[in-house]
């Protein structure tokens, strides 16, 4: 009889960690939305708004070199408490600096640093909270938490509070949310090795912090030694980069292709969020049937098809308009459905599957890293993952907009689709080579050896009051 795996949310420590993640990340996303709107209003310059994004991304790439050492050497629980408290302080600073652009940039650097350290600590804590058999479900909820926070912060609460109450109320509310998240982290159990004592955890010294670059290199060497871990890192980097690419290209796509105001993007691309939530729900089922690498490859191929469809959306709309029998949008000779043009309706139709496919990327890859990373290096590997993701993401922030201006946004979307299809094929090739080298044995999924290891690491049910 197959052993029943209990739901991960029935585990109180994981539930506290997950709630702290959703609450704090929702506040973070609402603040980022508000900062962009405030800076745009003060400067009337899209370049200045881009500086806000860079002020957030660059520190996460730089400080990530040190974050991994802090997470591995010091108390994860304390870091979760202090980083949320730090973000509460920066939210208050935003409140007083909201009319000064330079001050907003400066506070954003500190805000980004606390946020990067929180995300690393949060991700590194997950394997200590659940059993190996629950890891894929835990990472699904972890990814789903980020999606929920993005929807709530960027689409619902951020715009709603900013419009009705103003930036001051939003920053004050965000500070309160970070305080709540810090209190939730306070009730977490000790996170770490059974033989360790959190009270005796030592803060990394100067020599250790100076060696951050060599530690970063050691984490990368550890990943390169394992092809599946290297591929998982590439998948996560690809996922993060795609998110920024979408943020840059969607406004241009709205204006150049759909001929709709960019502020309508929330409505047009809302199906992406719905598809992503459905996809996250389906991830454990798909991984159970296909395996983690093939699930990611499926997601990459699905993204490629959706992006190719979006790149050719004008051609598809022309064909539908000229072929009455194939035009499901025509109504009494018009070219609109529910008041939407064919271009907008097609884009919304493709957006749902796009979100579903995107959901297939991060969770399986993150689970692979958790399963195959040495326990003592988890923090550094996760921090390295974020450094690479944010470092790579800087390139599209700088050049993709110019390329879209030169060659058109459709050409850029098509090129990204082709690159994703190539990435899916390469993923299957790497897995096949790995299976051949291992005698066609499937990649380990955190089996009994991993389970025994984690049972030795965890201290169940103990509440740390240090």
Instruction: Return the pLDDT at 356.
Output: 92
Asked if 8-210 and 211-448 have one fold, the answer is: yes
3-state class (DSSP) for residue 336: strand
Q: Cβ(117)–Cβ(79) under 8 Å?
A: yes
**Which tens digit of pLDDT belongs to each residue from 404-417?**
778 888 888 999 99
Structure tokens at 396: 């599209």
- Lowest-pLDDT range of 116-130, 259-273, 380-394, 408-422: 380-394
Tell me: pLDDT of 319 over 90. no
Domains of the chain, by residue range, sit at 8-210, 211-448
Phi/psi for 146 (5° steps) reads: -65, -40
Pick the CATH number of 8-210 from 1.20.1250.20, 1.10.10.10, 3.30.70.330, 3.40.190.10: 1.20.1250.20
Q: What is the CATH number of domain 211-448?
A: 1.20.1250.20
Tell me: pLDDT of 265 over 80. no
Residue 334 CA to residue 407 CA, distance in Å, equals: 32
Instruction: Return the pLDDT at 377.
Output: 66
**Which tens digit of pLDDT belongs to each residue from 54-97?**
888 888 777 776 777 777 777 889 999 999 999 999 999 999 99
> CA of 403: how far to CAs of 45, 194, 224, 256, 408, in Å?
20, 53, 32, 14, 7
Higher-pLDDT residue of 184, 10: 184
Tell me: pLDDT of 297 over 70. yes
Structure tokens at 279: 């996809």
What is the pLDDT confidence band of residue 466, given thresholds at 50, 70 and 90? very low
Tell me: pLDDT of 204 over 80. no
Task: Give the angle subtended at the CA of 424 by the CAs of 422 and 428, to the nearest 5°.
Answer: 115
**In 154-306, at which residue ranges do the beta strands (DSSP E only) sit?**
none
Task: Give the angle subtended at the CA of 54 by the CAs of 50 and 58, to the nearest 5°.
Answer: 175
Instruction: Return the pLDDT at 15.
Output: 92
341 DSSP β-pair partners: 336
3-state class (DSSP) for residue 341: strand
């Amino acid at each position: 009889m197959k052993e029943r795996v209990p739901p991960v949310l029935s585990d109180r420590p994981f539930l506290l960690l997950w709630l702290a993640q959703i609450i704090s990340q929702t506040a973070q996303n609402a603040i980022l939305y508000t900062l962009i709107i405030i800076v745009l209003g003060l400067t009337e310059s899209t370049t200045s708004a881009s500086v806000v994004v860079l002020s957030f991304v660059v520190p996460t790439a730089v400080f990530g070199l040190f974050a991994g050492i802090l997470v591995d050497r010091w108390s994860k629980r304390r870091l979760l408490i202090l980083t949320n408290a730090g973000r509460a302080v920066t939210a208050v600073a935003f409140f007083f600096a909201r009319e000064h652009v330079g001050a907003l940039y400066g506070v954003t650097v500190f805000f980004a640093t606390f946020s990067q350290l929180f995300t690393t600590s949060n991700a590194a804590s997950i394997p200590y909270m659940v059993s190996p058999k629950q890891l894929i479900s835990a990472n699904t909820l972890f990814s789903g938490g980020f999606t929920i926070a993005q929807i709530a912060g960027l689409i619902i609460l951020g715009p709603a509070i900013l419009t009705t109450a103003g930036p001051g109320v939003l920053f004050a509310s965000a500070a309160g949310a970070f305080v709540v998240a810090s209190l939730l982290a306070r009730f977490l159990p000790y996170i770490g090795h059974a033989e360790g004592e959190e009270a005796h955890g030592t803060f990394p010294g100067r020599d250790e912090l100076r060696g951050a670059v060599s530690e970063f290199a050691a984490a990368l060497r550890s990943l390169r030694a394992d092809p599946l871990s290297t591929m998982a890192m590439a998948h996560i980097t690809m996922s993060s980069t795609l998110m920024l690419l979408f943020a840059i290209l969607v406004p241009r796509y709205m204006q150049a292709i759909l001929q709709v105001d960019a502020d309508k993007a929330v409505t047009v691309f809302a199906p992406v969020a719905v598809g992503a939530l459905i996809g996250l729900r389906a991830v454990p089922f798909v991984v159970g049937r296909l395996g983690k690498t093939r699930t990611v490859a499926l997601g990459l191929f699905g993204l490629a098809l959706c992006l190719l469809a979006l790149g050719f959306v004008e051609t598809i709309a022309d064909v539908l308009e000229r072929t009455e029998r194939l035009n499901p949008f025509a109504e009494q000779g018009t070219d609109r459905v529910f008041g939407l043009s064919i271009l907008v309706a097609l884009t919304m139709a493709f957006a749902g599957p796009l979100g579903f496919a995107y959901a297939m990327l991060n969770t399986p890859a993150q689970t692979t890293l958790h399963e195959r990373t040495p326990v003592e290096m988890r923090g550094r590997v996760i921090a390295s993952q974020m450094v690479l993701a944010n470092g790579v993401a800087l390139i599209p922030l700088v050049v993709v907009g110019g390329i879209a201006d030169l060659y058109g946004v459709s050409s850029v979307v098509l090129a990204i689709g082709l690159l994703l299809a190539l990435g899916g094929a390469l993923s299957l090739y790497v897995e096949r080579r790995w299976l051949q080298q291992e005698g066609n044995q499937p990649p380990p999924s955190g089996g009994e050896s991993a389970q025994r290891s984690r049972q030795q690491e965890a201290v169940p049910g103990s509440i740390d009051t240090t």
